[in-house]
Amino acid sequence: MTSLDDLPLRNDLRGQRPYGAPQLRVPVALNVNENTHPIPEAVAHDIVAAVARAILTVNRYPDREFTTLRESLAGYLGHGLTADNIWAANGSNEVLQQILQAFGGPGRTLLGFVPTYSMYPILAAGTVTGWIAAERDADYEISPATAAEQVRSNAPDVVFLCSPNNPTGTPLSLETIESVYDATDAMVVVDEAYAEFAPDGTPSALTLLPGRERLIVSRTMSKAFAFAGVRLGYLAADPAVTDALRLVRLPYHLSALTQGAATAALAHADEMLAMVDDIRQQRDRLVIELKRLGYVPHRTASNFVLFGGVDDPKAVFEALLAEGILVRDPGIENHLRVSVGTKPETTAFLDALERLGTPQTGRPGPNRLEP
């Protein structure tokens, strides 16, 4: 049988590994930051009806400009945005890929602050864009001074800022974003995939868009909207940016079914986002309980918690898996990451972790109170 080494693969892709988290069937899957809450039934019926209507049109190509969807996304985001400011694709990964196709490429570089979303260097490799791994401050923070210095010294063509950061959950201040923008002539992309999980009143980078034609804010419906299986990511930017992305997008890249489902979901935004408060509550519970068990959870504004103090991450990962609970080993020494689940899922994870014993003593921790 032919192996990968037998094929005329691009030299720069040899030895690379594809993105991948374990896809295992377990009772409690908390490893890929999905929204584990189901879509409300009444909303699901409306989405199904929208998809059914779209099915009747699939003998024709879909609206290449996905105008209705862009108008709906602009209405959801607010901030005075219009359809001209909006772009969408099959998940935010494709949005980011198209940005690199337009503004990266051979001889150009992308800078990100590590540890960060593991797809960034993979997208860079796929678009033949050089990857620059910039450093963070202590506890995975990025101050305005650190950000500006790293950008000035590396002179990238594109900067990705993950806000809040994956896999650490670290929030990012608007001051840091502004410092990066002012320190470079590069395209600055703020990846706000988890923005809806931030505390109420947290300002979005969307507020910085006016007058900043090189600033892009990327979002997704995968997380807060519980739409991971639909694959719909989008961005807001100056209309010139969306014009640039039209040069690299594939024809009719958003299917009629995707457009119909996403537009219907946005019409029920309030109901779709009603589960966010419960997710925040369980996230805060995880932080409190992980501390009590002797672990070191990091500051997070997302739907997951990175926690340190894990003496043997592989052993803990396997022990949890043996109990039907799947978490994520992010490759950070002495750390694991757990997505926020429903209350029963969160309880199952905490109960299993408690049975393993506290990291300092190996003995069961004290009984905890249910929220």
Query: pLDDT tens, 165-191?
Result: 999 999 999 999 999 999 999 999 999
126-130: average pLDDT: 97
Least confident of 80-84, 118-122, 235-239, 361-365: 361-365
What is the rounded CA–CA span in Å between residue 275 and residue 167? Answer: 22
Which DSSP helix (H) or strand (E) runs through 352? helix 343-356
- Name the CATH architecture for the domain at 20-39+274-356: Alpha-Beta Complex (3.90)
- Residues 6+ away with beta carbon under 8 Å from 333: none
**123-149 burial, b for 16+ CB within 10 Å, e for fewer?**
bbbbbbbbbbebebeeebbbebebbbe
Q: Which residues pair with 109 in a beta bridge?
A: 130
Q: What is the pLDDT of residue 360?
A: 53
Residue 17 has pLDDT above 90, yes or no: no
In terms of Cα–Cα distance, which of 236, 164, 225 is closest to 194? 164
What per-residue confidence (pLDDT) applies to 54? 97
Residue 363 in this model has a pLDDT that exceeds 70: no
b/e sequence 241-257, b meaning 16+ C-beta within 10 Å: bbebbeeebeeeebbbb
Q: Where in the chain is the domain with CATH 3.40.640.10?
A: 41-267
Per-residue pLDDT reduced to its tens digit, 271-328: 999 899 999 999 999 999 999 999 999 999 999 999 999 999 999 999 999 999 999 9
- Region 28-36: mean pLDDT is 95
Q: Is the domain covering 41-267 a CATH 3.40.640.10 domain?
A: yes
Two tokens, residue 148: 């500006």
Q: For all residues of the chain together, what is the average pLDDT? A: 94
Is residue 301 within 8 Å of residue 224, measured between CB atoms? no
pLDDT above 90 for 45: yes
Give the number of other Cβ atoms within 10 Å of residue 70's Cβ.
Answer: 23
